[in-house]
Structure formats: C-alpha cells, structure tokens
Amino acid sequence: NVLILDFGSQYTQLIARRVRELNIFCEIKPYNNLPEDLSGYKAVILSGSPFSVRGEDAPHPELGEIKGKKPLLAVCYGAQYLAHFHGGEVASSNTREYGRAKLSFIAEGEPFFADIPVGSQVWMSHSDTIKSLPHRSVRLASTDDVENAAFKIEGEETYAIQFHPEVYHTTDGKQLLKNFLVEIAGVAQSWTPDSFVETTVAELKAKIGDDKVILGLSGGVDSSVAAQLLHKAIGTHLHCIFVNNGLLRKNEFHDVLEQYKHMGLNVKGVDASARFLNALAGESDPEKKRKTIGRVFIEVFDDEAHKVEGAKWLAQGTIYPDVIESVSATGGPSATIKSHHNVGGLPDFMKLKVVEPLKMLFKDEVRRVGASLEMEPALLGRHPFPGPGLAIRILGDITPEKVAILQEVDAVFIDGLKEWGLYDKVWQAGAMLLPVNSVGVMGDERTYEKCVALRAVESTDGMTADWVNLPYEFLQKTSNEIINKVRGVNRVVYDISSKPPATIEWE
Ligand code: XMP
C-alpha cells in the first residue's frame, strides 16, 4: 500500500490514478491528517500544491516518521518543501516554468531513471524554483530551464522531482513511478480487480455477518456493482430498492429491473412515477425541481426501507472521487458539520450504519471490478445519467406528455448511437425538450410544434466536456427519424457548446 500526501494540487488524484494503473493500491490523505499507524505503507508520495513553500500559509507536513525511514517521492511542491526546509534554497523563478520541457541531463546509471532516455518530455507547472539543493543531495536530472529538475538525498531513499510524472504529457511518467515504487521501494504490483473482489467480499462477510442491508439501485454503474459485490458476500440479506421516479429513459425501469433480477439480486421495484410527477406539477425552476425530486425520493425510499424489518446497514455506491471531493473541499473536519445540522431531521434509513464497498475506487476501476464479477458489458458501459433524470432535460414545467415525448426522442437517439457503433465513443448523450414551438410544414399542413436539442459530449469526469463531432449522416438520419416518429416534434438541433462555459445538462 502506498500513501499519497495531498497538499491540494489539482493533480493529486491523477497521481493515484497512475499508481493504480501499475496495479499498486494507494490512498490519498490530506497532509495535515496523517494516519496514526504508518506501518502498512511501503512508500510515500508528496503531491504538488498551489502554495509556495516561502509563503506564510505553506503546508507543513509532519514527516518525522517518513523521511529517511521509508521510500519517499516528492513531486513539485514536495520537492521544493524538501529543499527549502533541509538546507537548500527556493526562490521565485525568472523564467516561465509551465508546460512541456525536455530532460537535457540524466545522471548515469541511476535506477530512478532506468529506461528513461535523455530528451524525454516532462510537464512543468510551478512558479518557484529550486536554486540550490538540500544537504546531502545529488542532482539527478535537468532541463534547459530547470537545473534541479530531480534530485535524491544520499543515505535515504528520498527522491524529488520538480516536474509532474502523473500528467499525460510527461511521456515517461509512469515508468518513473514504476522505477520508484517497484524497483526502489519494492512494492508488489498485486492490486487487481480480482484480488479486490476477493478481499472485499471477505471483509463484507466479516463486517456484516447475518445482518440485513438496504441498498438503493439507480440503474447506474456504481450502485449496480456495489450491489453485485454485496450480493456475492451476503446473498439475499441484501435488499435492493429500485425506484421509478417516472423520469427514467424509455422502458428503463422495466428493462433494468429484469436485468437486476437476472443477476440474482434480491430487488424490489417501486413505481412511484405518479408521486413524483404530482409533486413536480407546475414547477419550472431547475433547482426547485431537483429539490422536489430529492425530497420525494427520500420519502419513497424511507417508506420502502421500513418494510425491511431489522435492517442494520445502508449500502451506498460512493466512489473515490466523491470521497476525496468531500474531504479536500472541506479540509476534513468540517465534513461532519453537515450531519450535525441534520440531527433530528434525518429519515430513519439514514440512521443506519453505512457500508460503501467502492469508496476506494475510481470509475474505470469500478467497471473493471464489475467485469471481474462477470456483469454485463452493456450495464457496465452505460453513460452517466443524472439523478433527477429527464426532469432537468425538460426545460420548464414537467407534464406526463412531455416526459413521453422526450423518452421517444431519447430512445431514437441512443438506439441510433448504439446501432452506428458510436455509443461507446461518447461519454454521455441525451436529448433536451425545449420550451419553444416553431413553425414547420408536414405534407400540406402547417405545424407549430416542439423543438428538441441533441447533446453528445466527450469527457473524463464530467467537470469539463466537449461536444462530439458526430457524423453528419448519423445526425441527418436521426433527425429524420425523430421528426417522422415522434408526434409533437418538428425540429431537431444539435448542441455544439463545450463545458465550460456551457454545462452538459441544460438545467
Ligand atoms: P453539468 O450539467 O453540471 O453535468 O455539466 C455534469 C454531470 O453531472 C450530471 N448531473 C447531475 N447528476 N444530479 C445528478 O445526479 C443532478 O442534479 C445533476 N445535474 C447534472 C450530468 O448528467 C453530467 O453527467
């Protein structure tokens, strides 16, 4: 196991990604909240940071039990931290040190740089620079602009680099991490989806025993994989609840429910469409729509959870980015403030003990775990779909008729993407029903009907996204099919906005 100490860099998660790609398990912890017991960690990585080591507010990690005692790799801020506080000098840099650079010097025979050639491209992103190295250090690499691009401290397994090995543009970054973790620190590359399933199932069995567990299925990848893992561990003690909020895709409730049953899950489908649509009637404000759906969901779920007598646990499909976001955004301790606010007002199911079997995994790892559990590729490869569903793709107020129209449009679009082999190339796709009527002509008749917008984006995490250049022939065929098949729609447009400044959803 590898420990990554986070100083708040935007790239910290990427370090973890790269380490996991080497089949090595790692955890990110905030620099100011070190685990008490460090004995399980075979190596430590210090992340970059938006701070300057020379600033008053510079993060000061407690490295007493780490530096000189365990293999340590310091990246960017970490490297500057080692230099600044151990006899070197860090100063503001005169030249811009952002972007691509090439390693112009690499110390010969250095295992840290094994299989990395002079000229290898690295990615720099810093405004301070290391003018002189800390005590007992040896320079290991330079670029044209950055003399001290890498160094090690003699007599220790301490390595430092000014560039970012985790970034895609550092061509040999993964090799460098491998050199450090595998060759120098001796960490085993044994973390695989199969081994994860095996150990997690054993842990879940031990933790849960014969207790009953409740889990809300959404049809999405995370909750489905969480359910399958728990099912493997505790079988029918797992009680799954799949709520139809009336805002799912066409046939989704029926089809996905069948799929869950086919997987052997103990699942109850609850059709609460009318309850949701009644609560939403007349509401056009996006945030109010979201809140209403959230509230009704909690009510419905709480009713259903009460029917599972003696349940002790609530399982959730939380994944690692959710966990890191809530920790880093709040600096850790304040995460609990929220639940204080909620005391007394919590629905009963939220008072259950929480089990989150995927909370250490990234999205693509969840998919690999699902594959290791032999789940359907079609289920694992599904596009993300927002919790409030079609409600935030129907601009303005929601009626059952509008939902039905959008379901038809969406089905033509999504089925078409699948037929054309485009579905897996797109990160997320869907259709928006606009609150606009426009004039058209069908046969000899003048029409005055709805307009829909199609949206397909590529992204890695939904934080930024770009529209996908779908083939014109595909758009042409899809548009024809929508207007011919779906009554009430006479115009189709394609959204060519990126995020930012637009968002993926229209509300
Ligand atoms: P935006 O529209 O913010 O969407 O660019 C980014 C990603 O988040 C999804 N999304 C939501 N998911 N509840 C959800 O569970 C919501 O209220 C919500 N709003 C947006 C969106 O589908 C995209 O994947």
What's the pLDDT band for 345 if we cut at 50, 70, 90? low
Neighbours of 162 (CB within 10 A): 31
Tell me: the pLDDT tens digits for 47-56?
Answer: 999 889 999 8
Which residue is closest in CA terms to ligand 1's atom 9?
386
Query: Element (H or E) spanning 348, and its range?
Result: none
Give the residue-averaged pLDDT of 419-431.
97
Percentage above 90 pLDDT, the chain: 82
For this structure, is 26 an active site residue? no
CA distances from 425 to 180, 193, 249, 467 (A): 34, 24, 20, 12
Please report the sign of the dihedral spanned by the C-alpha atoms of residue 337, residue 342, residue 343, residue 346. Answer: negative
Looking at the fold, whether 71 and 167 belong to one and the same domain comes out as yes
pLDDT at 119: 97
Tell me: the pLDDT tens digits for 197-249?
Answer: 999 999 999 999 999 999 999 999 999 999 999 999 999 999 999 999 999 99
Residue 74 lies in a domain: yes
Mutate to test the pocket of ligand 1, among 414, 504, 506, 507 (most ligand atoms within 8 A of CB): 504
Looking at the fold, whether 364 and 416 belong to one and the same domain comes out as no
Match 């590359």 to its residue by tokens. 189
Per-residue HEC secondary structure of 233-290 comes to HHHHHEEEEEEECCCCCCCHHHHHHHHHHHCCCCEEEEECHHHHHHHHCCCCCHHHHH
Nearest residue to 247 via CA among 410, 116, 134, 371: 410
Residue 390 lies in a domain: no
Per-residue HEC secondary structure of 464-484 comes to CEEECCCCHHHHHHHHHHHHH
What's the pLDDT band for 349 if we cut at 50, 70, 90? confident
Q: Which residues pair with 268 in a beta bridge?
A: 241
pLDDT at 339: 36
Neighbours of 468 (CB within 10 A): 19
Q: How many domains does the chain contain in total? A: 3
Looking at the fold, whether 356 and 298 belong to one and the same domain comes out as yes
Which residue is closest in CA terms to ligand 1's atom 21?
386
Looking at the fold, whether 423 and 304 belong to one and the same domain comes out as no
Q: Determine the atom of ligand 1 nearest the C-alpha atom of 465.
A: 5
Query: Is position 339 annotated in a ligand binding site?
Result: no
Residue 389 lies in a domain: no
How far apart are the CA of 505 and the centre of ligand 1, in A?
A: 6
Domain containing residue 442 = 399-494
C-alpha span between 213 and 310 (Å, rounded): 9
Least confident of 76-90, 308-322, 332-346: 332-346
How far apart are the CA of 293 and the centre of ligand 1, in A?
A: 14
For this structure, is 164 an active site residue? yes
Looking at the fold, whether 371 and 428 belong to one and the same domain comes out as no
Residue 210 lies in a domain: yes
C-alpha span between 102 and 118 (Å, rounded): 8
CATH number at residue 454: 3.30.300.10
C-alpha span between 315 and 267 (Å, rounded): 14
How far apart are the CA of 386 and the centre of ligand 1, in A?
A: 5
User: Could you tell me the two tokens for 249?
Assistant: 């895709």
Which among 84, 126, 164, 231 is annotated as catalytic? 164
Which among 26, 126, 157, 166 is annotated as catalytic? 166
Dihedral, CA of residue 412, residue 415, residue 421 and residue 424, to nearest 10: 110
How far apart are the CA of 92 and the centre of ligand 1, in A?
A: 40
Taking 60 as the threshold, does the pLDDT of residue 137 lie above it? yes
Which residue is closest in CA terms to ligand 1's atom 7?
462
Query: Is position 144 annotated in a ligand binding site?
Result: no
The mean of the pLDDT values for the chain is 92
Looking at the fold, whether 198 and 158 belong to one and the same domain comes out as no
Omega before 35 within 30 of 0, i.e. cis = no
Least confident of 97-111, 282-296, 322-336, 442-456: 322-336
CATH number at residue 122: 3.40.50.880
Q: Is 387 in the pocket of ligand 1 (CB under 6 A)?
A: yes
